[in-house]
Structure 1
Amino acid sequence: MDSLLLFMSFVFLGSVLGQVSYSIPEEMAKGSLVGNIAQDLGLDVKRLKTGKARIYTREGPEYIELNKERGVLVIKEPIDREALCGQTTPCALDFQIILENPMQFYSITVEITDINDNSPGFKNSEIKFDINELSQIGSKFVLEKAIDNDVGVNGLQGYSLSSSGIFSLNPYRIGSSRNVEMVLKKHLDREKQQRLFLVLTALDGGDPQLSGTMLIVITVLDANDNAPVCTQTEYKTNVKENSLKGAVLTTVSASDADEGPHGRIQYSISNVPEGALEMFHVDKDNGVVTLMGKLDYEKFRHYEIDVQASDEGGNSDVCKVIIEVLDTNDNPPAINIMSALSIIAVMTVHDPDSDDNGFVKCILGENVPFVIKSTSNGFYSLVTDSDLDRETASEYNITVTCSDEGVPSLSSSVTLTLQISDVNDNAPVFERSSYEAYIVENNTPGLSIFTVKARDADWNQNARVSYILEDSSVNGVPVSSYVSVSADSGVIHAVRSFDYEQIKDFQFRVKAQDGGSPPLSSNVSVKIMIQDQNDNPPQVLYPVQTGGSLVAEMVPRSADVGYLVTKVVAVDVDSGQNAWLSYKLQKATDRALFEVGLQNGEIRTIRQVTDKDAVKQRLTVIVEDNGQPSRSATVIVNVAVADSFPEVLSEFTDFTHDKEYNDNLTFYLVLALAVVSFLFITCLVVIISVKIYRWRQSRVLYHSNLPVIPYYPPRYSDTLGTGTLQHVYNYEVCRTTDSRKSDYMKCIFSKPDNKYWIYHHGWFNWTNVNPPQWDDLDFGRNMILQL
């Protein structure tokens, strides 16, 4: 059987009725007006709506969209002329406007004009030259060419060189590109100036004018007074776009009148168009230029390359290589598919055979939500069969197979790739239902605490998530004065420095909102917990450190081992281990006599008190917390080791006057001696007066036989539980067994431990006898004295 020829093609129904051209500058904002297409095409706006007008473009993104309500073309996305067309001019967008019922086509051309949005720039920020000091005036040094992606007047227009008086610029044009070389105006003297620094500036012609700079570093050398000279100024070559890697394009050559190392020439590529650096290679020794990449006539048709010929002395010349790319048939025809509502594509199938050999049926592959329907005259339409969900399947590869009914049957197939566009039907979802974060107090404002993250199952703009801090208050203050959230990244920053002692935690909510229209959103709760730092030292509550008076703890000389002298009480406003306190004895008059409880701060004796122990004992206790690093406080505890008040008084009179000696030591010694003498005489007179007065009273009482009136002094209580005094005392009067021979005394009876407090001639003592007897008095225990 003769072979069956089967034709398949996609057709557009209708005809091209008109063509309109517009010209707009690049980078116009989204929504900007391109033109009134309804007016320019002579169409009624209602026709755009009833005809379901739409824009059809063969390839690439759609930068223009049709506003059917107004009948105008507007910018859909900002257009970057350089990204769209590169150096090609003019740069234009070609598309069609399609109407239905009946189907009509209108061709639209929008020319994109250039604006000055690119500054001239150099590939290298610095270029170095080694120039011999014998270089002749007029020697030329080729500089790197600047690149400006703009075209026309906005493109590269010229160069300027910083003033040095030694070099000047000599701009010239080779072909269609502007080059520049530096010319020596004065002789160089290496012994006077070994290195020069110049700045080359490239300028464009835009308004405002933009520029770019490159630093030129010149090192002055000796004895190379001839520069290489290219054999040809330009080398032209043609190459097919399907040429293989390694293909030889041309060979550049240069000569140098010098001999030896100064005449040895090496070749290098000094300048290539943007994006073509890896496309070409030049052999440094023989100047052979070879192809290293894949050419594409549809992208770049023309290359201009600067090959620099340099000797070892730093002199150089530039050889221009112009490469023309020739086209080859390496692209198959493209099949363009039109979409309209639920109709995905329309196709026509033609088989020139007759009868059953020319009768064609078309079917689709399995598991696709589409069906193919046959219309008259060999037309087929591809339509949707069910709802589409981009989040389930964002792309379909639909294979259409058409077979005739001949024997054997012949068939042909084509595969269509269908991308499903997105609608905003999914709200952002946070990775967690709630967040907790920690930050150490005394932080730096602006510190990043942590990041919240939400994801949106939609695509592109509909999936672009922004984060917003919801309005709320913390302790009556707006939460925005505590934290802020980055709209793009979701990073939460501290606005202020936190203090754990003022606020320990707070909560707020963050909203994630997508970029759809209308936008969808969700929110999440965030809790910030402040962590404590050891920023507060311990504070000593007892004993109170006073400036003008002296507090001393009394220890009798009969005190046993373990006797409780007092207790240091301290607190720390920090928390956790930063508030765990320990007590240590830092200094002591006699370290062998006292110790401090590490945990409770109790000061106890560690041996039996003896008569040899000094009356004045000065203890320095340091209180430390458990922070890292730890903080501490010190307290001075004065202890009197004595059994009687006069003994303590005589020893402690000058205790409060322990000061640092100064330059007037003699004055203070004399003053102290006078004060002590005065106090001694005063005390002596007072004691004698009191003794005489009490002796008289006792004699009067003895002779009068009057009942004794008890004396009840005020109650004393040890609120801190230091063990120094008992809590409650009852008082009664007692006398010695022989009242005629002994002086009157008062006994203070203590019920809790059945001990007596004895007051006799101004002396305070304890006794363990019940009832007390003068001969059995056991003087001792503790006395609290405040001068």
Structure 2
Amino acid sequence: MGIRHHRCGQCLLCWAPLWQLFIFALLISNVIGQIRYSIPEEMKKGSLVGNIAHDLGLDIKRLKSGKARIYTGEGTEYIELSKEKGLLVIKERIDRETLCGQTTPCALDFQIILENPMQFYSITVEITDINDNSPGFKNNEMKFEISETVQIGSKFVLEKAVDIDVGINGLQGYSLSSSDTFTLNPYRIGSSRNVEMVLKKALDREKQERLSLVLTATDGGDPQLSGTMQIVITVLDANDNAPVCTQAEYRTNVKENSLKGTALTTVSASDADEGRHGHIEYTITNEGATELFHVDKENGVVTLMGNLDYEKFRHYEIDVQASDEGGNSDVCKVIIEVLDTNDNPPAINIMSASSRISEDVKPGTVLAMMNIQDPDSNDNGKVHCILDENVYFKITSTSNNFFTLVTDSELDRERSSEYNITVTCSDEGVPSLSSSVTLTLQISDVNDNAPVFERSSYEAYIVENNTPGLSIFTVKARDADWNQNARVSYILEDSSVNGVPVSSYVSVSADSGVIHAVRSFDYEQIKDFHFRVKAQDGGSPPLSSNVTVKILIQDQNDNPPQVLYPVQTGGSVVAEMVPRSADVGYLVTKVVAVDVDSGQNAWLSYKLQKATDRALFEVGLQNGEIRTIRQVTDKDTVKQRLTVIVEDNGQPSRSATVIVNVAVADSFPEVLSEFTDFPHDKEYNDNLTFYLVLALAVVSFLFITCLVVIISVKIYRWRQSRILYHSNLPVIPYYPPRYSDTLGTGTLQHVYNYEVCRTTDSRKSDCKFGGAGSQNVLIMDPSSTGTMQFPLPENTDPGPERQPPSGPVPSPDWRLCGG
């Protein structure tokens, strides 16, 4: 590749190696992470600027993973970064004159930004000038009218050529076409002198009225470029004195915010001629200067005509030409210094910023990098930045005009999930100017909160006999985290109730926390149980908490009363004996019943539903005692049949009935004769006659035997009672089991004493023992052919086969007392 002049197209470095192209360009300096390159202007698109990866000591993978990019802050990006090769290459053709004008050196400043972690490097690329512009004049022709009386050595100011190149490529000198009348004054680039044409020989209008010369301006490039202008001179008569400026230079200062029309300075010149030849007019000769400045052609007052900007141009030099009517002139140089005012607020440029961070980041984490630009000078351009009232972040200055926003303390998304961070940057001018920018930062969640139940423990009630699957109640836990970390699942912890897994009793809905009954509960089997429910969030790892739940089973009236006494049997007739001599209130027997329900469902009441003679007996409403309500007479029927109904207090109530047979008689033969006619169960009706005959025979036999036994027992009892009476030993009554309320709410709240008699009249016995509810009980068993069964004597050991039963139902063979 080669470099071609943009006009002639000739190759300057044809077939030269790539490194020879930049032998003068690649000057790299490593000063605190800053690299400097130097390249010529007008390089083709894609041309190499430098190997940034090598020069920064970075790996190509780091450029890719860090999403390396160029940050310019403003303006067009002329250079781009090839991350695949780690090279800086030309993106757009660079014209140094368009970019920097006459300013030298001309450089592009930008930064290379890397992320994860955030880094940046400052890069400076100096654009060197090439000779791509030739000197030129504003006008192709310049005319002079010169009096023939002008003195030798008179100076005529010529128009300056303009070459927008700089350095050696800029304007270097002028030459005038061969002439024996005029010559050029020596000219030095950068001096305050102008291009002057000097008369070296007196003019003679009569010999030569017009002169035509060519002024050539040349630069110092290789190849050298030039521009020409035609000078036409008309020789006039008289006016042989030129104007002369009073001062060679005029200096003035002006603030950049000065208004249009402001007077800057006044230039003046004098002309020794008189009349119209001495009349001087002032004009500005600089190209483009007339847009900003104006000079009054009569009095030389220089005024401001446009808006000044210190940040663009700080220094102006204008040429005010003083000319008389004869064409004689002098140039007065006016130097204007622009003074800065604080008219630019700081410009905040976000180089890189994070919009979302995790709540568990450590203090000092970089959130954003900013470049602050204030083109003002001195204190007007000094910038400091602060944050709004926010204790969680701070801003630090990393280098000149570069600031970093970092975390200053630990964050908590549950306290605040979003922050609007306002950065305000102010300069030190008077008055101070400021600008601000607001960064929105989202805080992402970390699973740092376990679910919390609304209560420390739960208690719920369910009525027994429920439908399986019934919803009992709901446990609720809340998690302060967000999204998946706050998604709570409910788990039934493994435990057992009475040796059975709790999962066979209840289940928990994982999503809603609703607790369902798995089975139908029976209050009589289980009254309460407890278990634990765990709430677990969806984080990784998950967090959890648990709570104790107690289920209380409520009773239903689902059990009818159960009659414990008298026992209803199908094979025998149980009768309670009432002597005819019984007084009013005589205790016949007691109906004993229980209800396995609880509370009011177990409150029992007793009512006489049906009786052979309602006027003779009554039943205690609360205790079930059957008593006589009048004196027994001889007219009363021996055979009395009572139907007692037992009801509980439930809603609706449940009941049970019991039939009580009562014999009103004073002797066993009378009872026997009457009770053989009692109806029996259906299974015995067919053989009634057979059983009666058989029973009569057996009873007759047993009667004789009993007489003998009774006499013997009487004697034995009398002797034993005497021994017992004198021994003063305590008598321990026997109470049938389960006659008391096992739940504390039963119906038997009194101690019932049943007499065991030593004489034929039980009411006259002087030693009473706990019995089964009646003074006299008669049992007739059809299967025993009418044989009567008597209780054992009160002091006689009945033997193992005749012991009272341990259950709630007394055995029939120990209920009859007789003398």
Could you state the TM-score of these two structures normalised by the residue count of structure 2? Answer: 0.44
Q: Which has the higher strand share?
A: 1
Structure label with greater radius of gyration:
2
More relative contact order, 1 or 2 (CA 8 Å, 6+ apart): 1
Could you state the TM-score of these two structures normalised by the residue count of structure 1? Answer: 0.46
